[in-house]
Amino acid sequence: MRDPLKTYGTGIRLPLVVQPGFAWISGANAVEQALRAVLLTEPGERIGHPNYGVGLRRYLFAPNTLATRTSIRQAILDAIQRDENRASNWKTSP
């Protein structure tokens, strides 16, 4: 079995909280936090990474059609593949 710390890494827990030092996050929790960041970030919002993020806000008032849902799913999959490769081996269901 692979070591999750080596596979997924360790990082600073967000949001930052006031305490002595920083809180750390590792393993699958680190990947979950990174996925949340990708999903909630609009492209162009992150300095130095203009393509980072999914841009889900553009779908907020879109009609609830199969085409819209398919576009959302593809945007999420593309962003995860591009921005968070640690999650690329996870399975998704339609």
- Radius of gyration (C-alpha) of the chain in whole angstroms: 15
10-20: average pLDDT? 68
CA distance 80 to 15: 21
For 53, other C-beta atoms within 10 Å of its C-beta total: 22
pLDDT at position 25: 80
- Whether 75 has a pLDDT exceeding 60, the answer reads yes
Q: Encoding tokens for residue 77?
A: 């999959």
Which residue has tokens 């996925």? 35
Q: Is 72 left (phi over 0), alpha (psi -120 to 50) or beta?
A: alpha
Q: Encoding tokens for residue 57?
A: 């806000």
Instruction: Name the band, by pLDDT with cuts 50, 70 and 90, for residue 94.
Output: low
